[in-house]
């Protein structure tokens, strides 16, 4: 692996007496797509919340580009180069599609932009397939397009690392395939991606490596084919190992 872009070391999160994460270690190299999978309640979104500063860990460390970011507020982590989407899409419904992206551009800081804000917003909307809907109210978009808008707003902060939380869930198969193509294109343009996903066929097709969580612990890590065959993973998903 190249020098890691993101490093998670011994990460532990306790809510009361419950360990949502327990001693998690993994790293992400520049240019990778890393899948993060596990049954419901495994700790996947909690891990994203720690990396992006929404939750402070009980123990352990997170480093980005070699520098510690554990406990930094979310706005500082965003401006360092980490952006995310949410399992439940969080657009700004009272704003237009273009205004949602302009918020991301403003939040990310003008020093990092590559052109006038309105032109940059149009470029980002074109990149995610929403160029014809810039003036529409965001609340009028169907779910698949809301997901595209949230990705565009995240990309507006010009991240080096993009965290995607179940971006393929709840949409039709054709829409999911189109979003998979968009994810590949985002990586091709230089953004590293970590993604939570329950659609196994999609995560296996997209990921270079997969990290598996179960009850807050890492139970497997490796190439998709090896992870899919690991007895611990089969046990976690099916309740019994294969013969």
Q: What is the pLDDT of residue 115?
A: 65
Report the CATH number that the domain containing residue 2 is assigned in CATH. 3.40.50.300
Indicate if 152 and 167 belong to the same structural domain: no
Confidence of residue 242 (pLDDT cuts 50, 70, 90): very low
Indicate if 75 and 114 belong to the same structural domain: no
Instruction: Examine residue 13 and state whether it is found in any structural domain, yes or no.
Output: yes
Q: What is the pLDDT of residue 38?
A: 94
From 26, 41, 7, 35, select the one nearest 226 (Cα to Cα): 35
Q: Would the pLDDT of 233 be above 60?
A: yes
Indicate if 141 and 185 belong to the same structural domain: no
Q: Would the pLDDT of 33 be above 80?
A: yes
Instruction: Examine residue 146 and state whether it is found in any structural domain, yes or no.
Output: yes
CA atoms within 13 A on the CB side of 37: 27
From 203, 235, 241, select the one nearest 219 (Cα to Cα): 235
Indicate if 18 and 33 belong to the same structural domain: yes
Instruction: Examine residue 86 and state whether it is found in any structural domain, yes or no.
Output: no
Domain stop point among 158, 193, 210 = 158
Instruction: Examine residue 54 and state whether it is found in any structural domain, yes or no.
Output: yes
Instruction: Examine residue 87 and state whether it is found in any structural domain, yes or no.
Output: no
Indicate if 150 and 200 belong to the same structural domain: no
List the structure tokens of 38.
């596990």
Domain stop point among 158, 181, 198 = 158
Confidence of residue 240 (pLDDT cuts 50, 70, 90): very low
Indicate if 149 and 169 belong to the same structural domain: no
Number of independent structural domains in the chain: 2
Q: Would the pLDDT of 145 be above 60?
A: yes
* Number of residues written out for the chain: 243
Indicate if 20 and 32 belong to the same structural domain: yes
Helices (H) and strands (E) in the chain, counts: 9, 10
Task: Tell me the pLDDT of the chain averaged across its residues.
Answer: 93
Indicate if 172 and 203 belong to the same structural domain: yes
Indicate if 110 and 182 belong to the same structural domain: no
User: What would the pLDDT profile of 180-225 be if each residue is shown by its tens digit?
Assistant: 999 999 999 999 999 999 999 999 999 999 999 999 999 999 999 9
Instruction: Examine residue 99 and state whether it is found in any structural domain, yes or no.
Output: yes
Task: Tell me the C-alpha distance between 26 and 34, whole Å.
Answer: 10
Domain stop point among 102, 137, 158 = 158
Q: What is the pLDDT of residue 82?
A: 97
Instruction: Examine residue 152 and state whether it is found in any structural domain, yes or no.
Output: yes
What's the domain range around 12?
1-81+162-243
Instruction: Examine residue 224 and state whether it is found in any structural domain, yes or no.
Output: yes
Task: Tell me the C-alpha distance between 217 and 19, whole Å.
Answer: 9
Share of the chain above pLDDT 70, in %: 94
User: What would the pLDDT profile of 93-128 be if each residue is shown by its tens digit?
Assistant: 999 999 999 999 987 754 555 568 899 999 999 999
Indicate if 139 and 120 belong to the same structural domain: yes
Task: Tell me the C-alpha distance between 10 and 25, whole Å.
Answer: 5
CB 125 within 8 A of CB 118: no
The beta strands (E) that lie in the chain are given as 6-15, 18-28, 33-37, 59-64, 67-68, 82-84, 161-165, 192-196, 209-214, 217-222
Indicate if 198 and 137 belong to the same structural domain: no
Beta bridge partners of 111: none
Q: Would the pLDDT of 243 be above 50?
A: no
Indicate if 10 and 38 belong to the same structural domain: yes
From 49, 40, 93, select the one nearest 71 (Cα to Cα): 49
Q: Where are the alpha helices (DSSP H) in 87-127?
A: 97-108, 117-127
């Amino acid at each position: 692996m190249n020098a890691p872009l993101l490093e998670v070391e011994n990460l532990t999160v306790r809510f009361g007496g419950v360990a949502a994460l327990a001693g998690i270690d993994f790293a992400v190299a520049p240019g990778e797509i890393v899948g993060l999978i596990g049954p419901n309640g495994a700790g996947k979104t909690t891990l994203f919340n720690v990396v992006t500063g929404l939750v402070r860990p009980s123990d352990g460390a997170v480093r980005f580009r070699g520098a510690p970011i554990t406990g930094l507020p979310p706005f500082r982590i965003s401006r360092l180069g980490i952006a995310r989407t949410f399992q439940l899409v969080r657009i700004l419904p009272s704003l237009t599609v273009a205004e949602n992206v302009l918020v991301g551009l403003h939040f990310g800081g003008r020093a990092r932009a590559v052109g006038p804000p309105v032109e940059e917003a149009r470029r980002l909307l074109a990149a995610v397939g929403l160029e014809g809907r810039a003036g529409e109210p965001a609340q009028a978009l169907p779910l698949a397009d809301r997901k595209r808008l949230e990705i565009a707003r995240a990309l507006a902060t010009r991240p080096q690392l993009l965290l995607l939380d179940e971006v393929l869930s709840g949409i039709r198969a054709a829409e999911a395939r189109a979003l998979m193509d968009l994810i590949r294109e985002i990586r091709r343009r230089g953004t590293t991606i970590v993604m939570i996903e329950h659609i196994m066929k999609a995560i296996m097709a997209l990921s270079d490596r997969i990290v598996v969580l179960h009850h807050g612990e890492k139970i497997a890590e490796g190439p998709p084919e090896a992870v899919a065959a690991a007895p611990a993973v089969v046990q976690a998903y099916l309740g019994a190992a294969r013969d």
